[in-house]
Structure 1
Amino acid sequence: MSAPALTAAQQSAVQRRTVLVLSLGQVLGGIAFGATVSLGALLAADISGDDALSGLATASVTLGAALCAIPLARLAARVGRRRALTLGNLFALVGIAVVILAASLRVFPLLLAGILMIGAGNAGNLQSRFAATDLAVPAHRGRDLSIVVWATTIGGVAGPLLLGPGEIVGAAIGMPPQTGSYVFSFVAQSAALVLYLVALRPDPLLAAQRIATVAAAASSVQAVDRPVVARYAMFAIAGSHVVMASVMAMTPIHLSHMAHSMHAGHDTAAAAADVSQLVGITIALHVAGMYALSPVFGILADRWGRLQVVLFGQVLLGGSLIFAIFANDRAWGVMAALILLGLGWSAATVAGAALLTESSAPELRTRRQGRSDSLMSLSAAAGAVLAGVILSNFQYAGLGIAASVLVLIIVALSPLGRRARS
């Protein structure tokens, strides 16, 4: 016999608990993803011996998320968010172990397989933001979603900043170079798995499904579904993610070239130290931009409207690309580009996720959320591969020009985000 639907007071209390648990899980899960973002391209370039292949690291992490997004969403629809999220944690734990093994053996395909598994785990992290909307009232949907996104700031910023301490720990216990911070990632992912198993009760999606069933039985009014708006939301989320992922993935390689150019090849040890420090600080600032102001964008999405904040995100992304095109030979210019890149991504994806959720009828939401995450990750995987080729042939400025085309397309198609149900 199924559990009864929640009262309004119970729903509010469960929602507050759910947002807290999901936020703590995002703090822990963000550590592994932050480390992979920082180290993936560098490990890929080092082990493969070819900078052009460095984009395959980001492609693998996004491909892993794409392959698991729809299956995890379907699993959540059947058995709830809790089991789907914990399965994602298990994928990430296996992936971390495989990456460390690949770095030890210096086997490039094995490295990509491990990063792909970490990406599969990140599909669970992405699903957490939708889990925050399962029991949210419409007036606070953007805010609740953005709080969970914001929580990733702590883990996402800590991941890159743990590169230095991680190398000390890794050297002490005999780990391969550039993998020490994965020790912290493994511990954090294990803690997140336990947290979801123990504390994510009652399951928010199952509770929301019971509430929707009771409401449908008591009312003859059918929930409104706006498929054109939902499709535009998916495109805006995916396009913004491609812009962010492609530029971000190539930034460590670009900064590495800058550092070695400064030392003119005479002091390789100093250049390597500069690379680690510059990459760590820049990616940390970028990740802070991705998540730190997400509650602000969530509140703005509730007050201004979802589409308006999606377009504001495109303005921020455009500003980022201007720095990438015209100030890419200066460290401060690259940092400014990465900060704005993160802010634009945050505004577009927080508001886009809220737009997708509210434009979909309850029975279609979980399915479309999974499709959105899969499309987002697949597009970013292709973008990361192309970004490596563009960087090799047209430099960082050329990458910025190519990414700006996608921003313009998202803006041009924005009238679709206002269409009502036909």
Structure 2
Amino acid sequence: MTTTNRTSHPIALRDATVTDPFWASRQELVRTQVIPYQWNALNDNVPGAAPSYCMHNFKAAAAQNAEHHKEGKAFVPPKYTFRGFEALPDDPAHPDPDKFYGFVFQDTDFSKWIEAVGYSLTHHPDADLEATADTAIDIVCAAQLDNGYLDTYYILNGMDRHFTNLKDHHELYCFGHLTEGAIAYYQATGKRKLLDAACRFADYIDFRFGTADGKLHGYPGHEIAEMALVKLAETTGEQRYADLAEYFVRQRGQQPLYFELEDRRRAHEGGRDYEPREQNYAYYQADKPITEQTEALGHAVRAAYFYAGAADVARLTGDPDLLASCEQLWRNIVDRKIYITGGIGATHMGEAFSFDYDLPNDTAYSESLAWTPPPIYRCTYRVDESSPIV
């Protein structure tokens, strides 16, 4: 893994201090009120709020693992059962302790929370919050399978179908957020338990995906694994994580389109989780390789994550074609598809980019995750070593 001093790099969070009264007060509000509230929400302890079921799912998966490891007791893993993109209990007051509930990406509620905890602990050590986080991490890690896989949707609903619906079922997205959270917590506390779990999951993904015969030639449906893998490589020094990120970036949109093959297979199988409809693979930034893409299209958050990950790979590899593609997509966004606030994704229909210069105020999407991605700046070259970075 090589980098060059001709690219910019994000500074360490511990080296940045917010002193502006407005933002400092918001930061303090998050630390003292939002993070504790979110922990209650993750455990379905907020009266009147819709349950998350996040920690419920991890506890159920951990209990299933414990049952599997009981000496002398045969364990029969469940066969996959599709229960909808969101599964809810028949009796909300009495959810089944052994079943998965929530959206297919529900695990990321924990991952985003632990990332926020890591960021908070970086500047504000808090023994009680750290103890709570360690307890949560113990539960999450207890849910991890022996092979490293860690996604409660398939662990509880049936591992025989994992990695069969990459386009829609968010497994690699969940991995990406878990990794980002694990790194943030490790950088704040020096504790490796969750980071090691993320590494084991990454190892399993690396074992399953690639261009070699017998491997899956797919890539994330909802991107973020790309940028997370680069960060994991830089945190651990493991080159193969960067190589896996590069594979995901370069494989996306190659012919034959993996998502199209996946949809055909699922249609042939006729499972309940397949909905016949016209497919738009550009919505997933997967209709052509990134080096052939000239316009930001599709789901805005997916796109921002993907372009950021591609920029990271361009930074690591020094590939001029990939860098040029990142810059072209960047210019398309900032010249034609960005709000003055920095928000992107002009339409709530599909949470997506609209056509050039269509930036309505009243129906703007611009989710907080859909904004011009700072990692693009990592590919901005200095004119010389004394020149400021643009």
TM-score computed with the length of structure 2 as normaliser: 0.25
Using CA pairs below 8 Å that are at least 6 residues apart, which structure has the higher relative contact order? Answer: 1
Structure with the higher helix share, 1 or 2: 1
TM-score computed with the length of structure 1 as normaliser: 0.23
